Structure 1
Amino acid sequence: MSQQAVDKIEQRFKALAEKTSPAVWGAPKQLIKLSQQIEQTDIYLARRVLQRVRNLQPNNPKIVRELTRLSNEIATKAKLTQTSSSTETSTQLISDKVIKINSDTKADKQQDQSQEETSILSTLAALKDNVVNHSQTKNMNKPWLLFLVIPFVLFAFYQLVWAAPRYESRAQLIIQQPDGMSTMDPSMALLSGLGVGGNSTADTQLAKAYIHSEDMLKFLQSKYNIQQHYHDGGDIFSRLSNNSTIEDLLQYYIEHTAVEIDDKSGVIKLLVQGFTPEFASQLTQAIVDRAEWYVNSIGHQLADAQLEFIRGEHKQIEIRLRDAQKSILAFQQKNNLLDPEAEGAAFQQITYGLESQIATKSAELTGLKSVMTAKAPQVVILESELNALKNQLELERERLSLQRKSSTSAANSSNLSATLSNGTAVSEVLAQFADLKIELELALKGYTSSEISLDKARIEAYRQLKYLVVVESPTFPENNQYPKTLYNILLFLVLQLMLYAIGKIIIATAKELR
């Protein structure tokens, strides 16, 4: 636009300001109405008025849009005016040329005039065709009408009007295990290793895998017939096919059931979509109940299997201990001994006593022989006592180490005779009893260790029990969460523009290479 045209617009603007009251001239809303009134007669002045409104309210997006619209209309009008003016100028030049030729050659060049007129008419026809072709080319250079506007309108119509709403119910869960430290003494706590946390990540991943498993799908299908809901509730693009297989149903179920796990806290967030809020809430509750049953049953099954194995081992050790006790009791009854070791100790004590008496008597006999003759009565008596003690010592030693006949045993004291009535040496009896006692002690130690292992297994089983705790009960949605209309429309528009720009670049590159 020339400076002269700008000055004329400013003059009309100042004249309008003088005619308008100060109250209207300082009110943006009144100026907007005034601009709309004079837009039909003077669009340049209307835009200048809107510029004043923008100065008064620089942050009003409505004013910016109106200014942009008027600027576009002015640019379009100026372009059309320029094209028309160019065409008229070309036509006027050709007409002047025709008049000049007619005036110069009318008298003497009739044949040349006919040829020149034919050339001029051809030029006019070519100019007309050029204008028409320019208009057609301008209309044909608008592929955005086919590739942008129509698909965008159809997609927006689907998102705003046709798309079936989907409601999302939410629930939050966490897997916990009981604290066994408060229910046992410190020694058992150290023995069992309690206090070391388990692998919570594996538990949450296990719960997620079961929620997205075919077992869970079959349970929900038998209880709620989710396949029919997924088919009847959605629109033609979002519904499940009527002849879908179990794999298709599982894939559709997984796409509409999200399981999010917080690695730090271990909280499992369950997001379930449905075409009605009632169904979404019911389905979420069913999934929570079934997952809780699964987690609890897995923990109890592992604990029962471990305890069953430990109880079987403990029962075998208990049988071994009872057999060892029965063997000792039978040995005692067979040999008529309450405690063979005590009996052997008594025999040894007798032997040691006899040896002590023999030593004493030998010393006395030596002393008497030094002052008396060998036939003295005291010496003879002492020698007899000494010989008796030696014979008895030999007998006692044989009882301890040798197998004697029953007749030899019968000649001794009644108690020892009863003890060795079967003709078995005391040392052999002690050896047999020692073997039985060692077996009993080993069985008793094994039983004690088995008792500790059983207690530890109970604690470990109690420790392995896992419980699915509901942090947030399934919600009842009131507003549909999907489809995200504005987001989807904007994303579709961005993708359209990207594809259109890529296409334009490819076409321009092809033309350049051609």
Structure 2
Amino acid sequence: MTFVAGPVAVPTATQRRLFSRITVLSFLLCVLLPVLASAGYYAFLAVDRFAVETKFAIRSPGVTASTDLLGIVTGSAASNSTVADSWMVVEYLESREFLDTLAQEVDLKALYAAPRGDILTRLAAEATTEDMVDFLPRVVSASFESSTQIITVETQAFSPEEATRMAEVVLSATSTLINAVSEKARQDTVRLAELELARAEQALRDQRAAIAAFRETEQKIDPTATVATQEGVLAQLQNRLASTRTELSSLREFLAPDAPSVRVLQSQIDSLERQIGTERARLGIGDAGAAAGSTGETITDSLNRSVTEYEALKVDLDFRQRAYLSALSSLEAARIEADRQQRYVATFVTPSQPQSARYPQVTLSMLLIGTVAFLIWGVLAMFIHILREHLT
């Protein structure tokens, strides 16, 4: 079987000229015109911009090298805190709050609005606050490298002095922010410990007042000490009584009952027995202690109540003293921990006045514009070619 090829459509000369003109026109519009416009802008309109680069890091005294588990955990927590603070600084430098701080030091419109700069880089003279917030990242750009935890800030202005001044303001505002955040965190850490110490101190003061009131009411400084003293006196009297009775028994063996020595010893025994009775009554021992007072309470009951109440007050006082000392130690530990977690701005690349303009980067910009324009034209030319093949 033999196949005969049909006629192949051949574009006419008019069609070829049309598509050639379209291709040339697209090249002029997509490549040549943007490149020439960019060249004209950089040659006649673009204004030099000076840039100052500042590098710093957020550091904490608590971030130290440690091989033990606790050190690794606490060090990791402190490191995470400084990373969060670093990202906070980057966000802050693009915020309305930073713009307000910046406005107190420099006049953005005076620095960046007409007649300063050029049509693409200047700030509109009638710019609102929101417009200035949007404009801010163009003159203050911040980046954070998480691997090194370094923040890099670049400030741009139309003169070296202004760019340096902007960098100094940025560094000052960042330090103020970190100090404020760090101080607030420190106060929050210490505040709870201070409140606990205040409660413990007040409880101790109240307990001491209760003991003072008890002593005023009972007219005794320490009932337990009073009892111990009286018991000691009673024991001495009883010893003396026993000794005197022994001596009297010995004398009666060879002396008459009415002998002067016997009468003297008997008199001493009677005196000692009366003293012992008095001391036993004070201690609430025996029948004397069972005698009811004016309130109907026996001496024994009164003494027991007084001692029991005082011992309870002393136990509470000891407990509250220990609680106070514990709260005092906790406050000191909280202060040490708060000081350890203090953050500060460690600057290692300080703002320095530039000697030459960094922007515009004409060569790089022209290469980028030319490359992008050529790629766009290449894609468009490919579609033109496909369209020509389809139509013919």
Fold in common (TM above 0.5): yes
Q: 1:249 aligns with which of 132, 139, 156?
A: 132
Whole-Å separation in 2 of the counterparts to 1:398 and 1:480: 100
CA contact (8 A) 2:60 2:82 kept: no
Whole-Å separation in 2 of the counterparts to 1:132 and 1:316: 99
User: CA offset at residue 455 of structure 1?
Assistant: 0.9
User: CA offset at residue 201 of structure 1?
Assistant: 0.1
Q: 1:131 and 1:320, CA in 2 relative to 1: closer, same or farther beyond 3 A?
A: closer
User: CA offset at residue 502 of structure 1?
Assistant: 1.5
Whole-Å separation in 1 of the counterparts to 2:231 and 2:339: 56
Q: Equivalences for 1:171-320 in 2 at 5 Å?
A: 171-178=54-61, 198=78, 199-232=81-114, 233-320=116-203
Partner of 1:404: 291
Residue-by-residue CA offset, 1:351-373 (whole Å, 9 max, x unaligned): 9x98xx99xx9xxxxxxxxxxxx
TM (norm. structure 1) is 0.56
User: CA offset at residue 132 of structure 1?
Assistant: 11
Whole-Å separation in 1 of the counterparts to 2:200 and 2:13: 111
Q: 1:163 and 1:347, CA in 2 relative to 1: closer, same or farther beyond 3 A?
A: same
Q: Equivalences for 1:345-494 in 2 at 5 Å?
A: 345=228, 399=284, 404-406=291-293, 424-494=301-371
Whole-Å separation in 2 of the counterparts to 1:218 and 1:490: 38
Partner of 2:385: 508
Which letter does structure 1 place at the counterpart of 2:194? R
Which letter does structure 2 place at the counterpart of 1:209? E
Secondary structure of 1:236's partner?
coil
Q: Equivalences for 1:314-333 in 2 at 5 Å?
A: 314-333=197-216
Q: 1:320 and 1:400, CA in 2 relative to 1: closer, same or farther beyond 3 A?
A: farther
Q: 1:332 and 1:139, CA in 2 relative to 1: closer, same or farther beyond 3 A?
A: closer
Which letter does structure 2 place at the counterpart of 1:318? E
Which letter does structure 1 place at the counterpart of 2:324? Y
Gaps spanning 5+ residues in structure 2: where? 1-11, 65-69, 246-269
Residue-by-residue CA offset, 1:470-495 (whole Å, 9 max, x unaligned): 21211212222222211221222222
User: CA offset at residue 250 of structure 1?
Assistant: 0.9
Q: Equivalences for 1:122-133 in 2 at 5 Å?
A: none
Residue-by-residue CA offset, 1:189-210 (whole Å, 9 max, x unaligned): x9xx987761210121222222
Q: 1:205 and 1:195, CA in 2 relative to 1: closer, same or farther beyond 3 A?
A: closer
Residue-by-residue CA offset, 1:136-194 (whole Å, 9 max, x unaligned): 9877763334543233222222223322222111111222334699xxxxxxxx9xx98
TM (norm. structure 2) is 0.71
Partner of 2:258: none
Whole-Å separation in 2 of the counterparts to 1:140 and 1:322: 97
Whole-Å separation in 2 of the counterparts to 1:241 and 1:194: 49
Partner of 2:6: none
Whole-Å separation in 2 of the counterparts to 1:429 and 1:439: 15
Residue-by-residue CA offset, 1:391-437 (whole Å, 9 max, x unaligned): 97xx7799269763249x9xxxxxxxxxx997743222221111111
Gaps spanning 5+ residues in structure 1: where? 1-129, 182-189, 362-384, 410-419
Q: 1:339 aligns with which of 222, 244, 251?
A: 222
Secondary structure of 2:311's partner?
helix
User: CA offset at residue 449 of structure 1?
Assistant: 1.1
User: CA offset at residue 498 of structure 1?
Assistant: 1.7
Which letter does structure 1 place at the counterpart of 2:224? E
Aligned residue pairs total 336
Which letter does structure 2 place at the counterpart of 1:216? F
**Percent of residue pairs identical:** 21
